Structure 1
Amino acid sequence: MGVLERKQRQKEEVRNSILTAAWSIIQTEGWQAISIRKIADAIEYSVPVIYNHFESKEAIMLEFVKEGFRQLRDHIQAQLSDEDRSCQQLEIAGKAYWQFAFANQATYQLMFGMGLPPCERARQVPEIQSFSAMLVSLIQKVIDHSKQPDTNAFLKFHTFWSILHGLVSIQMINRSATPDELSELVLEDAIYGFIKALAV
């Protein structure tokens, strides 16, 4: 292995150590407890070493936001089948979103806590764009089979996302809470109502 390759590998190892330490702090103390100093102490490096890899703690948080949206998109896509009708696909996507949120609460709360960038910046994050494009595409399929082909799919995407995130957030107010039968019924009713209005 050449000198350049070795340096690159060492750089990647330090970067991964930083992310691993940051995630450990998030899981034990919450994302609000993250600081560059705390991460440096955890991996026994100086603060400037951390700044050589990430310009700020927000940059570290953004890495987890990106990974969260990658995982969310992949989880939803894994549940979908080309054999399902467009309405069924959107229903499956909504329920998969819910499942992901509660199976990965720390990740989800970080994605929509301090880590989620403002709307303008979010448009520049490929992982968020990819997730959004997937849901817009599913919604567009329902619209294409409806009697309202001029419906704005992007607007409906924001409505659908707001419904899902709102229901998840209400449930997560009590951090120890897990979805019960009533909250599952509310989710199904909300998704069914959205799809029914969209498919008319």
Structure 2
Amino acid sequence: MQRRNFIQSSLTLLAATSVAVPIVAQKYTPPKKGFKVKAIETRYKNKIIYGETPIDFKLLSSDTENRLSIFISTNNQKGFGPPLHVHHSVDEFFCVLEGKFLFQSGDEILSLEKGDTIYIPRNEKHCFTYDGETSGTLLVGITPAKGMEDFFAVMGKQLSGHGMPDMKAMQAVYKLYNSEILGPPMK
């Protein structure tokens, strides 16, 4: 009996090790030097327009071994924002650079103005809307960030037409990125 347990334990350890070795063997190679991204530039393939809101990626997940992605979002459309949603595998932060925004985090509604920052952990329902009179600008960070640039590019295409986008199609995109829509946008 002890020999059988020893053999089973050894085989389990061997199988686990053989799976883990390729993962451990992969080595992250950071950019060889720092880089600058000008105010009017984006590091992503193309400029993303989410509805009428431009999203300019300044730091890509590929720059940071999928640890972090940062973008600037400029919103000139009062009352525009994403639907109530949740991300199951990423945390986000939003820092208001200009303007005024209303955020829902969990069941709490918060008003954020220039200089204010909000952190939204994974699995926390949230949404926001632009509530200013001129333009509003957010600095947004996502961690871990694998694939999130592509999420915004796909969603930008979904929202490129006029009128309400197809909610079933939007929900399908959210699910692809381990997220889900829970309700309508804030008004």
Q: Report the TM range for the smaller structure's normalisation.
A: under 0.3
In the superposition, the TM-score normalised over structure 1's length comes to: 0.25
In the superposition, the TM-score normalised over structure 2's length comes to: 0.26
User: Higher strand share goes to which structure?
Assistant: 2
Q: Which has the higher contact order (CA 8 A, sep 6+)?
A: 2
